[in-house]
Amino acid sequence: MDNRFMSVFRHIIFGLLIIGLAAFNKGSIDEYAIILLFLFVINNNLRFFTFRNKKAFVFISIILEIFLSSIIYEYYGGIVLFYFILSILDGVLFLGDRISFLVGLIIYLTAIYMIKGTSPEMLTLNLGVITILLLISYYIKREYHKKLAAEKLYYKLRDSEDKLKKANMDLETYAESIKELTAMRERNRISREIHDSVGHSLSTIIIQLGAIEKMAKKDGNAAAGMAENLREFAKAGLEEIRMAIRELKPVEMEKYEPIIAIENLTKQFSKHTGVDVKLGFSKDKQALTSHESTVVYRIVQEFLSNSIRHGKASKVNIFMNFNEDQLIITLRDNGIGTDELKKGMGLTNIWERVEELGGQAQYSTEKGKGFLLRVVLPLEREYVGEQYG
């Protein structure tokens, strides 16, 4: 509970208690009354500020307060309810449910004893208010415990989040280490293969060239035959080099190079301009020919340029949907848009490139609603990778 609020609340109750004594006193306020009031206040403050976590002391303090209340009311009067407000509140908040129930029962009996000479209506009123105070106190206690449970859960979740972040960082570090180690092993393997194949081929060629050089001085035909054999051997060595390079750069990597290039384009554009660019793909992807790759790259590049230069956009969404024989590219920005669009050089270039591939392009734009471009490109069914030579 908030100590500051409860402290102010207690002093208010003490003030109301004194006012009640002054207004409804049974006898003159003498030094004994002042001593009893001081004992009442000191006992209450000790209970709340010093020993409220010690249930035995709290219980004894409340019983003592009830006893003091009955004496002060018996000889000096006052308002019955003001004597028991703090006892009810502390009994419910600082004691267990069974002991607080016992305290409530003692307060009921004491209140009945203190106002036994009053009318039934006054007795009912006082007991009713005491009941309401007990219920309010139980409600405050319940809500306070809920708050504590929520705070405990919050800190537990935050601690778990910190642990998850640390674990994630450790996993990322581990993944990077594994990635680097795998790359090193692969480089070592390929370097060994290149050394074994290329080194052997070059060594043999050097030896054969020396032999040809000597033989050419004696027998030209024999030297020509050796040169022909050496040419075939060199071709075989070159093919081994090509195979090693293809292992270093597999066909799958070459297949997806256009997509990687577009990803790099969007990342660099977002980094340099601050525009939030989201690039998405369908699950199934197909390879693009060199011409198709160039067209797609230029379309994306031109759209990004127009989005920030003309549309003043802050977000761009691009989705590439690969069908069996089509690539559908949807590009949308959140720019200012326009109701009257005039094709400039950029859009004209896009249309010309799309038409070269036999595709179609459509756009949609309105003022304040951004710009939408949809491009449909037919794809070649078979992909033949570029040969190394």
Is the pLDDT at 389 greater than 60, yes or no? no
- The Cα-based distances of 2 to 8, 86, 328 in angstroms read 10, 15, 63
Is the pLDDT at 345 greater than 60, yes or no? yes
Structural contact between residues 379 and 233, judged by C-beta atoms closer than 8 angstroms:
no
Is the pLDDT at 331 greater than 90, yes or no? yes
Higher pLDDT, 328 or 127: 328
DSSP string, 217-239: TT-HHHHHHHHHHHHHHHHHHHH
The contacts of residue 133 (CB under 8 Å, 6+ apart) are 81, 84, 85, 88, 89
Average pLDDT for the chain: 81
Task: Give the model's pLDDT for residue 385.
Answer: 39
Structural contact between residues 44 and 86, judged by C-beta atoms closer than 8 angstroms:
yes
The predicted-structure confidence for 20-62, as pLDDT tens digits, reads as follows 888 887 777 788 888 988 999 999 888 888 888 888 999 999 9
- Adjacent-strand bridge partners of 360: 376
Is the pLDDT at 249 greater than 70, yes or no? no
Structural contact between residues 94 and 58, judged by C-beta atoms closer than 8 angstroms:
yes
Is the pLDDT at 247 greater than 50, yes or no? yes
pLDDT band at 120 (very low <50, low <70, confident <90, very high): confident
